[in-house]
Amino acid sequence: MNSKKLIVLGSVNIDHILNVNEFPKPGETLTGTHYKISYGGKGANQAVAAGRLGANVQFIAAVGNDDLGKNFKQQLQSDHIDTHSVAVIDQENTGVALILVNQQGENQIAIYAGANAAVTPEYLDQFADDITKADAVLMQLETPLATVEQAAKLAKQNNTQVILNPAPAQKLSDELLAHVDIITPNETEAEFLTGIKIITEQDAQQAAQLLHDKGIHTVIITLGSKGAWVSHAQNGVIVPGFRVNAVDTIGAGDTFNGMLITALLEGKDLKQAVYYAHAAGALSVTKAGAQTSVPTRKEVDDFIQSQHLSMRN
Ligand code: ADP
């Protein structure tokens, strides 16, 4: 395990996934074809990815005082995550995502924040010391925005690196953006934040430049199977991804973020870290689900080695 310390601040959700032939109309009841409960939430997914891929990670989050929440917390521990800052909230449910998936693979999702809403700036105060001493803090936007803003400010003031995965997309203040060191939107989120639709490389650099202008040194726009646009100190390049047979892309971005920061904390340079993140992201799309599809570090290292060998042959 890495000696550098990572804090992930984020959400925990129990995903209830029901496959249906078609979406029900208002007032209609339909019978589903397949039902599954799985652990999710962008925060938990990224904490699991970082933990499984070798980071020394502490998770700041909250679950409800229900069986699912308590089991979830135990599961996080088995991925080497320090969960002393995962609160169990009385009288509250663990966050829930109700997901309907139709035959075309489209989804309809309704979320209940539940215990995630208890991750307030006051709650964060208890772990202020941990943030100031950590090497990096990784966040997304499923926790109350005021908490994300406070964590970013505190981290920046204490030279803790701030990585923001701005998902799901929402409007962000210039003050928050000025506290971010690395931002990792996908194409949709980059468009939401900058108003620029990413079609060409010029579009990607223009969007990255707008984010640089807000004070962010490193902008990584993930481009699905195409890889990522990586712009640092105003200079952008495309770092291509890996070609794999995709089964489902759920959690690809979360795995990418978890591996990216793990590799950076190991001392890899930016391009190398993105390369590792692509390998982990690509492996994750070859399996179904979010946390279930996060590879182990050995799988990532073996995959990278096999790519090097096939390039030499
Ligand atoms: P998100 O999951 O947040 O929408 P992306 O779709 O951009 O983000 O994917 C994030 C990363 O996951 C990509 O940069 C790439 O490394 C990897 N990835 C996603 N989809 C694929 C794919 N079909 N094949 C290979 N790698 C993929």
Is 254 an active-site residue?
yes
- Give CA–CA dist 65/295, Å, rounded: 30
36-85: pLDDT as tens digits: 999 999 999 999 999 999 999 999 999 999 999 999 999 999 999 999 99
SS3 170: coil
Q: Where are the alpha helices (DSSP H) in 127-200?
A: 128-133, 145-157, 174-178, 187-194
Q: Cα–Cα distance between 63 and 14 in angstroms, integer?
A: 10
Q: What is the per-residue pLDDT across 5-46, written as a single tens digit (0 to 9) for each?
A: 999 999 999 999 899 999 999 999 999 999 999 999 999 999
- Determine contact, residues 101/107, Cβ cutoff 8 Å: yes
CA-proximal residue: ligand 1, atom 16 (nearest): 278
Expressed in angstroms and rounded, the spacing between residue 79 Cα and the centre of ligand 1 is: 22
Q: What is the signed CA dihedral for 80, 88, 141, 50, rounded to 10 degrees? A: 0
Nearest ligand 1 atom, CA 187: 7
The closest of 45, 43, 40, 16 to 143, measured between CA atoms, is: 43
Whole-number Å distance, alpha carbon 188 to ligand 1 midpoint, is: 12
Q: What's the pTM value of the predicted model, to 2 decimals? A: 0.95
* pLDDT of residue 312 exceeding 80: no
Mean pLDDT computed over 224-239: 95
Question: In this prediction, what percent of the chain has a pLDDT beyond 70?
Answer: 99
The per-residue pLDDT for range 257-275, each reduced to its tens digit, is 999 999 999 999 999 999 9
Span 275-298, mean pLDDT? 94
Answer yes or no: is pLDDT of 1 > 80. Answer: no
Catalytic residue among 79, 135, 181, 254: 254
Residue 285 pLDDT? 92
Would you state the pLDDT for residue 290? 85
- CA-nearest residue for atom 8, ligand 1, is 253
**Given the structure tokens 């939430």, which residue do they identify?**
41
For 155, counting Cβ atoms within 10 Å of its Cβ (0-12 exposed, 13-18 middle, 19+ buried), the class is buried
**Average pLDDT of the residues of the chain:** 95
Comparing 46 with 312, which gets the higher pLDDT? 46
Residue whose CA is at the smallest distance from ligand 1 atom 21: 225
Binned at pLDDT 50, 70 and 90, residue 313 comes out as low
**Residue 105: its pLDDT value, please?**
77
CB of 186 within 6 A of ligand 1: the answer is yes
Which of ligand 1's atoms lies nearest the C-alpha of 282? 26
pLDDT of res. 109: 87
139: pLDDT strictly greater than 80 = yes
The CATH number corresponding to 5-22+34-312 among 3.30.460.80, 3.40.1190.20, 3.40.50.970, 3.90.79.10 equals 3.40.1190.20
Rounded Cα distance between 186 and 64, Å, is 30
List the Cα angle 293/139/289 in 5-degree steps: 15
Three-class SS of residue 47?
helix
Q: Comparing 45-59, 98-112, 128-142, which segment has the lowest mean pLDDT? A: 98-112
Residue with tokens 């996060």: 294
**Ligand 1 pocket, residue 279 CB under 6 Å:** no
pLDDT digits (tens, 9 = 90+) for 161-215: 999 999 999 999 999 999 999 999 999 999 999 999 999 999 999 999 999 999 9
What count of residues does the chain have? 313
Burial of 122 (C-beta count, 10 Å sphere; 0-12/13-18/19+): exposed
For residue 222 and ligand 1, the question of a CB distance below 6 A is answered with yes
User: 46 CB under 6 A from ligand 1?
Assistant: no
3-class secondary-structure state, position 298? helix
> What is residue 157's predicted lDDT score, i.e. its pLDDT?
97
Confidence of residue 228 (pLDDT cuts 50, 70, 90): very high
Among residues 93, 111, 91, 96, the alpha carbon closest in space to that of 39 is found at 96
Ligand 1 atom nearest the C-alpha of 280 is 16
- Residues in Cβ contact with 207 at an 8 Å cutoff, skipping those fewer than 6 apart: 190, 191, 193, 194, 196, 198, 219, 221
Point out the ligand 1 atom lying closest to the alpha carbon of residue 250: 2
Q: Tell me, what's the pLDDT at 311?
A: 72
